[in-house]
A = this chain, B = another copy of it.
Amino acid sequence: MRPTRNENPKSEHKNKVKHLKKKHSISVAITGAGGSGAVTTGLMLLDAMSRAGFYGYMSRSAGPQIRGGESAVMMRFASQPVFNTDDRFDVLLAMDWHKVERFADEIPLDSQSLIVCDENAGEIPAPLLQNGAVCRALPLSKTAKSIEGGRANMLGLGVLAILLGLTEQAMQQAVRATLGKKGDKVVADAIAGIERGMQFVVAGTQDLRLQPKSTAQKRWNISGNEACGLGALRGGVRFVAAYPITPASDILEWMAPNLEKLGGSLLQAEDELASINMIIGGSFGGVPSMTATSGPGLSLMVEGLGLAVTSETPVVVMNVMRGGPSTGIPTKSEQSDLNLALYGLHGDAPHLVLAPLNILDCVFTSEWSVSLSEQLQAVAIVLSDQSLGQSRLVTDPPDYAGFNTRRVVADASTQHYQRYQLTENAVSAMAIPGTPGTTYTADGLEHDERGTPSSMAADHQQQMAKRSRKLAAFDYGQHWAHVDGQGGIALITWGSSSAVCQEVAERLRDSGMQTRVVALRLLMPLNVQALQGLIKDCTSIVVVEQNMSGQLFHYLHAEQAIPARAVSYARPGPLPLRPGDIVEFIIAGVQADE
């Protein structure tokens, strides 16, 4: 691989990895056994940091126990928007050592890292110390006992507040926002605990205070699942039928009350076979309709999706990916349902596949997906994943995309209505039940323009070509990918790996290597020509994704979109992709070439 370089080429690539400038950010992890309050602590810290003017990202991990098991939150804060986890953590606040080894891989520590823990928690597990992290044991629980309603996690939060330079005022606001509903006593106790924690002096560490970007704008605190739900509502979805499944259920739980407020509805189906067919029914009835699921549920929807394709009934399926195959690792992230989404229908069944590029982009991609599905009377599968869906972001509010979502509807006056009429753009007007003069029967059997079942070769070819052409000929504009930077190195990626790739590109550029990122939002149909144009002058092409077999890499080859010299960087879940690892991989490739 031969990356193009900026004006100041450096020849000592060997050490480049280490010298790469990194985004200035602070990463904090909080762990604890069930009931230790690790998650609440994290949520309060996220809230406080956002009030202090920072951006933040928070992901979560938990053991197998349904309740009472160990859990961890992984957070990152910066003065600019931040969408993914870093290579390492600056601080670990450990409420106890209960099964903390389970999280050792997820919370890499090094000699610059600080561990804050309770002095009564016992011996620190060796894996945490092996890279030289500094440990400060404090009398958190002992002190907590000494103050009324005191809880060790609030004292720990106080310590973090001091380390991160948060004010008492910010902490008080955060407590009120997070615990307000639980009453004044709870709030007062928490504040007392935090303030006591802020009195601890934790010496001998690096400065963890960020410069706040002064901004008047209000921030949003949103999860990817909420963002997908919001985008769907913006796109016009007013009917949802679904069956609960981790990690997609929160989309449904957020949408249920909000759909109702907007005059829509949510139906809890008996299974996924029902949910996909229910939304086909809802959409046939004229209401933009959607479901949300994860791998096992998407598997069960495959037959229904084929029906929607053949009957040209628009539906949107949000698939929040988790570790596969089969039941796999339900609580952890992986981008391994791409194959199923692209190819998992029997027969030649053209449809749309999209993926949000980060938590904030869930709003946009979800709205766009509904819009495309409605306009094209097509199936749209949206591939989010656990790392987007169940993580939270503190971010600038998303812009309004404001797509024209309306589907082409037949009106009552139509003569000799033909549901599947050939038209210039291959989209036919769809009659909505209730409209006089345009009755028809939708069908999953092959049919002619009118919709009458037909097994004739001519009808089959005509209607297959129609269904394919309406997607192929549509002008998707600029949204098919987020592109930035100039060649040299090209990173092609999709979905949740996009944010990591952005950071990889920043680091490479900062070290003088021109880097272009092509983050695919519309995976099918693929904009092959534009993609080829964007990478043709790049000396190295790396396809980055979070699965084992390189599903995107193979798909891009299937479409003859990338040259033979492209290389694949594919790693399975459940650990997140780390920008540093990818940088290292790329530099090693560059060195091998020299």
Contacts and interface: CB of A to CB of B under 8 A. Distances in A.
Interface of A: 64, 102, 105, 273, 295-296, 298-300, 302-303, 306-307, 309-311, 321, 323-332, 334, 336-337, 339-340, 342-349, 443-446, 453, 455-458, 460-461, 464-465, 468, 547-549, 551, 554-555, 557-560, 564, 572-575
A306 B310 contact: no
Given A347-B323, A558-B554, A329 B299 contact: no
B296 A325 contact: no
A485 B573 CA distance: 46
B310 A325 contact: yes
The 6 closest A-B pairs by CB, nearest first: A324-B347, A325-B347, A295-B346, A326-B444, A343-B343, A325-B349
A275 to B, nearest CB: 14
Contact of A300 (B300, B311, B340): B300
Given A298-B346, A347-B324, A445-B327, A564 B572 contact: no
A47 B558 CA distance: 46
Contact of A348 (B307, B346, B547): B547
Given A310-B326, A324-B345, A457-B572, 9 more contacts: A273-B300, A296-B346, A300-B303, A310-B327, A324-B348, A337-B347, A343-B343, A464-B548, A555-B558
Contacts of A564: 560
B303 A460 contact: no
A341 to B, nearest CB: 9
A450 to B, nearest CB: 16
A306 B325 contact: yes
A457 to B, nearest CB: 5
Nearest to A302: B299
A337 B456 CA distance: 20
B549 A329 contact: no
B349 A345 contact: no
Nearest to A341: B346
Contacts of A311: 326
B324 A349 contact: yes
A302 B451 CA distance: 29
A349 B344 CA distance: 13
A311 to B, nearest CB: 7
Contact of A345 (B64, B325, B342, B554): B325
11 contacts: A295-B346, A307-B327, A309-B325, A309-B326, A324-B346, A329-B445, A339-B343, A343-B344, A348-B547, A348-B548, A457-B575
Contacts of A339: 343-345
A328 B310 contact: yes
A326 B298 contact: no
Contacts of A446: 323, 328-329
Given A325-B306, A455-B323, A548-B468, A346 B336 contact: yes
A464 B326 contact: no
Nearest to A319: B346
Contact of A327 (B64, B444, B460, B572): B444
Contact of A573 (B460, B468, B573): B460
Contacts of A331: 455
Contacts of A549: 348, 468
Contacts of A574: 455, 457, 460
A464 B324 CA distance: 9
B342 A343 contact: yes
Nearest to A340: B346
Nearest to A555: B558
A547 to B, nearest CB: 6
Contact of A328 (B302, B445, B573): B445
Nearest to A464: B548
